[in-house]
Chains A and B, each alone.
Chain A
Amino acid sequence: MPDLTKSISSARRRLLQMHFESGVGHIGGNLSCIDMLVALLHRVVGADDEFVLSKGHSAGALYVALWSIGSLTDADLATFHGEATLLSGHPPVHGSPHIRFATGSLGHGLSLACGLALARQLQQRAGRVFCMLSDGECEEGSVWEAALFLAHRNLPVVTIVDANGLQGFGTTTEVAGLEPLAAKFESFGLRTLGVDGHDTDAFLDAMASVSGGPAVIIARTHKGGSVSFMRDRMEWHYLPMTEALYRQALAELA
């Protein structure tokens, strides 16, 4: 998959550029999921399918993934986080036909995905719904209401948890003792797979193996991706980059 590898690499750099130019933080959690988002939109989410980004704070990565498939332009990305933009810091209501729901308050996306999937079931339409959550988001009770519902109704929802292990003010272990996360989803009757979220081959294999019904992919990732000074560091949930750090990050990703 040389093309996809190239697309991911160029998306990572485009994401850094967009966040640097807009002076916006939240880059860490964007870099943890950009590889998966690009792989999903290029190779997994088909014409009958839908994708819901429940971890709305990774809107930047979603916009860049949409740019990568040609759905948003450089000119669109240049407006990110600016005045009168359609591309707000969290996914907007009317920013792109590929963005079905404004998200950002955590714990909504999986239920919305269930609604899209239930409609497919009732309308006897083909298609699956993919939904990406953050691991910290799993502290929201509504996530588990949705997990119960989708397992009970056997809905065609594939849940991807971007498990970077860091949340707003600590690690997921320090804050909530979230682990064992896979066992929690399994106990709801959901087939659950673990995968390295930065290993695109492994991620696509996992997606292929759960082609139909409800499943959960716990994707182990690093906040900040492979940028050395950001990797697994909580402050990059928030910080904007200086020019020097931006240049360094670009060089590391080149």
Chain B
Amino acid sequence: MRNEFCRAMVDLAADESFVFLTGDLGFQALEPLQQALGDRFINAGVAEQNMVAVAAGLAASGMSPWVYSIAPFLYARPFEQIRNDVCLHSLPVRLVGNGGGYAYGVMGATHHALEDYGALLCLPALRAFVPAFNSDVSTIIAHLSADRSYPAYLRLGRDEAPPSLLAPDYAAWRRLVPGAGPAMVAVGPLAGSLAGALAELTPDQRPDLWLLSELPPTYIPADLLESILRSRDLIVVEEHAAHGGAGEMLAAQLLRLGAAPARFTHRSALGYPSGRYGSQRFHRQECGLDADSILALVKRLAASPPGSA
């Protein structure tokens, strides 16, 4: 998604209030943006605390700053600057973290972002966006460029849509695969991989797969709610820690609505169960987040419908 991101940013270059700050990342990816922006492309160096506070100062002066780094360096190191300088003042700073979840794979644990949106969404007014498909990126960016009323975090990953899937137009919620099985919600790119794998299931077993791309979810679509009430079974899958993740947000929302399912299964990032490192795929497998594990889960759940035990 980095190339789509760069292209969408270049499209904003004519807006003179637009300023881009990077924490010394973007080599062989952001050069076109650097060229388009000239002195509004700021390499702030390896100094994320300063970079985020500078962005707050820019936003307070009427500029529209976008701040870029790899995801873990963007939300964890300068968390207090995001909290105090950006969010307390409701400044429209856009934080862009590349490589959500285990995307940086064997680079190791320090480069993973397993609690990014959970940590950030504790802060007032901030909203998080998790595009799933390349085509989502420009829509989200156009939206965030037009509506500057709140701070935002954009978690970039890799488009995982199978060739057979026509990515639907961007929306906070999208139904990716209809099914008569349990309701399933997946956050961001992972939904693409799941959509491909779930196609092999029979329609009665196949989950009703929904993709969630905006957090916190401000509503639950009526069709999804119907699916939950019908199956009484909800599976949430996200490459993020359970605590503070989308699963907990949805569970609380369903409880408030009096629409809690009889069974709630939450697949989330578990850290490093074996203490070993590998690709994003390796870590997903360890956490039961990969498509094969989710298929096995769906089959196992189908064998014992909710409330049957």
Contacts and interface: CB of A to CB of B under 8 A. Distances in A.
Interface stretch (A118-126, A173-181, A195-203): A118-126
B44 interface: yes
A148 B89 CA distance: 25
- Would you call the interface of chain B mostly helix, strand, loop, or mixed? helix
A112 B47 contact: no
Nearest to A155: B54
Contacts of A141: 49
Contact of B54 (A93, A118, A120): A118
B236 to A, nearest CB: 35
Contacts of A117: 57
Interface string B226-243: 000000000000000000
A111 B53 contact: yes
B53 A119 contact: no
A126 to B, nearest CB: 13
B299 to A, nearest CB: 51
B44 A102 contact: no
A105 B60 contact: no
A149 B47 contact: yes
Given A112-B56, A119-B58, A149 B44 contact: yes
B84 interface: yes
B55 interface: yes
A27 interface: no
Contacts, number: 91
A149 B81 contact: no
Q: Which of A101, A116, A120, A148 has the most CB of B within 10 A?
A: A101
Contacts of A145: 45, 47, 49-50
B264 to A, nearest CB: 38
A239 B123 CA distance: 33
Interface in A54-80: none
B50 A114 contact: yes
Interface string B37-75: 001101011010110111111111111000000000000
B80 interface: yes
Interface string A95-131: 0000011110101100111111111101100000000
Given A116-B61, A149-B47, 18 more contacts: A93-B88, A101-B60, A102-B84, A105-B84, A111-B52, A111-B57, A111-B81, A114-B50, A115-B54, A115-B56, A116-B60, A117-B57, A118-B54, A119-B61, A123-B62, A142-B81, A145-B50, A146-B50
Interface of B: 19, 39-40, 42, 44-45, 47, 49-50, 52-63, 80-81, 84-85, 88-89
25 contacts: A101-B89, A102-B84, A108-B53, A108-B85, A112-B56, A112-B57, A114-B50, A114-B53, A114-B54, A114-B57, A115-B55, A115-B56, A115-B60, A116-B61, A118-B54, A119-B57, A119-B60, A120-B61, A142-B47, A142-B50, A146-B50, A146-B53, A149-B45, A149-B47, A149-B50
